[in-house]
Copies of this chain bind each other. A is one copy, B any other.
């Protein structure tokens, strides 16, 4: 690998100064006035030498990295993985890079991660998903230091932080109401961990649907101890011991629902005849479950698009200082055969 070509080489080749080269390279940023001629010359020199700016040097000089830190709550969750993939696209389109971390791999070490990213000079942070493991204080500290932060699929109620969310209350309402309309009264909510704010939102929607039909006395909660298949399985097994048994389940997310379905099957229960179930997210595998899973779809693509867009816009000062917005997107009930 021959040593890379620098701005100097280009300048020499084009017979201009480095300043001029820099000017044409960064042309888009400022309305500079360059003569057509030197512009052309520089451009061809760049092409013939196949010059690429050294991002390191630029970062050092400008103090900006054009990189965002993406902190995911659990990459192993299909929903999260897809989000990361989408984010990657958006970030690329806008000519940024991103550093990724999966906080599930470092329970309690979120501070260390943020620190690490800070050291790498990320310009801003994107948090996706709300793992129970995560200490919100770390995010708050960021905000208080004026560092741009955007959250998707996660919220921080009492703070002025931009976040992109599906309407969780409405989604849960839709799911629960659908179950009620199918004639169910005893509907159990397999919730996420207590510490998860989103769980509370969905609980609200669940309760609202129940209340509307005067079913509040049938409310039944079964908190899962995590977000994975196994946790859904365990929760369902516990729930199955309750008397009288619910005739329907609304699970916090699809993975929990899929896990629960295994327990239901093992208990010899038919879905949806003996017990109906609906999930949340609409991960790809939901459609391919033994009994295709009814679920509430989140507008993933839009959420990621808006989330990244907003963060980068903030970084590029396209909003007034202190600006923030909470964007709430509509959920969509996808009815399949599990209900």
Which segment of A198-206, A272-280, A284-292 sits at the interface? Answer: A284-292
Q: Compute how far the CA of A97 lies from the CA of B289 in the bound complex, rounded to whole angstroms.
A: 37
Q: Which residues of B contact A60 (CB under 8 A)?
A: 54, 56-57, 60
Tell me whether A330 is interfacial, beta carbon within 8 Å. Answer: no
A1 near B147 with CB under 8 A, answer yes
In the bound complex, what is the Cα–Cα distance between A53 and B105 (angstroms)? Answer: 25
Q: Which residues of B contact A100 (CB under 8 A)?
A: 84, 88, 98, 100
Taken together, the copies of this chain in the complex come to 2
The SS class assigned to the A binding surface is helix
Contact partner of A65 among B56, B259, B287, B290, CB < 8 A?
B56
Residue of B1, B53, B119 touching A53 (CB-CB under 8 A): B119
Q: Is the CB of A76 within 8 A of B284?
A: yes
Contact with B along A95-138 (1 / 0, CB 8 A): 00111111011100000000110111100000000000000000
The answer to whether the Cβ of A82 comes within 8 Å of any Cβ in the partner chain is: yes
Q: For residue A121, which residues in chain B have a CB less than 8 angstroms away from its CB?
A: 54-56
A240 at the interface (CB under 8 A from B): no
Q: Is the CB of B85 within 8 A of A75?
A: yes
CB pair B81 A229 closer than 8 Å: no
Asked if A120 contacts B105 (CB within 8 A), the reply is: no
The answer to whether A120 and B102 have CB atoms under 8 Å apart is: no
Asked if A8 is at the interface of the complex by the 8 Å CB criterion, the answer is: no
Complex contact A229–B284 (CB within 8 A): yes
What residue in chain B is nearest A57 (Cβ atoms)? Answer: B60
In the complex the two chains form, is B99's CB within 8 Å of A233's CB? no
With the chains together, A296 CA to B331 CA distance in Å? 37
- Which residues 274-317 of A sit at the B interface, judged by CB distance below 8 A? 284-285, 287-292
A142 closest partner in B (C-beta): B1
Q: How far is the CA of A85 from the CA of B72 in the complex (A)?
A: 10
Nearest chain B residue, comparing its CB with the CB of A284: B229
Q: Which residues of chain B are within 8 angstroms of A98 by Cβ–Cβ distance?
A: 99-100
Residue in chain B with minimal CB distance to A74? B85
C-alpha gap A82/B288 in the complex (Å): 20
Q: How far is the CB of A79 from chain B (nearest CB, A)?
A: 10
A39→B322 CA distance, assembly (Å): 43
State which of B78, B116, B265, B292 has its C-beta within 8 Å of the C-beta of A78: B78
Q: Which of A78, A89, A106 has the most CB of B within 10 A?
A: A78
Known pairs A55-B119, A97-B120; list 8 more (Cβ under 8 Å).
Answer: A56-B65, A60-B60, A81-B81, A85-B105, A99-B99, A100-B100, A229-B288, A290-B290
* Chain A residues at the B interface, C-beta cutoff of 8 Å: 1, 52-57, 59-60, 65, 75-76, 78, 80-82, 84-85, 88-89, 92, 97-102, 104-106, 115-116, 118-121, 145-147, 228-229, 233, 258-259, 261-262, 265, 284-285, 287-292
12 contacts between A and B (CB under 8 A): A1-B146, A52-B118, A53-B119, A54-B119, A56-B59, A75-B84, A80-B81, A85-B104, A85-B105, A88-B100, A228-B284, A258-B285
